[in-house]
Amino acid sequence: MFIGGYISAAGLGLTCPDWPFCPSGIFPDEQYFIEWTHRFIAAITGILVIATTIGCWLTKNSESKIKLTSTLAAIFVVTQISLGALVIDLKLHAVLVSIHLGIAILLFAMVLLTTLFAFRLNKKSIQTNV
């Protein structure tokens, strides 16, 4: 979200006008580097979110809360990538850029909740012998 906000605030959203790759191909020229970095981080994030969801569903002891939040995160990450492509294709249409940010916030919330549910402490481990 931070690099996406920087891209937007700096007016660099269309420095790389093609999607998914820049005109220079997979590896960017210097002029496309910042936008390419945003797309690269988004791709890595998407892979990790989807891998987490698959892991949650394959683990026998996963709670339903973790399965729900990770599944929503996977849905949001696919939506986010699709919206990113539309934002580029439609030349930064303001409504789509706003929706893109909103989905980013929802995605962040679901990833945070999944992490909190996965690492929450057992109530018995917090008790002390006083």
Taking 90 as the threshold, does the pLDDT of residue 7 lie above it? no
Torsion sign across C-alpha atoms 55, 60, 65, 71: positive
Contacts with 98 (C-beta within 8 Å, 6 or more apart), sequence order? none
Give the global pTM: 0.84
Contact criterion met (CB below 8 Å) for 77 and 46: yes
Mean pLDDT to the nearest integer, 85-94:
90
29-43 mean pLDDT = 87
Place of tokens 């005109």: 23
Average of per-residue pLDDT values in the chain: 88
Confidence of residue 122 (pLDDT cuts 50, 70, 90): low
Is the pLDDT at 5 greater than 90? The verdict is: no
Q: Stretch 108-125: mean pLDDT, rounded? A: 83
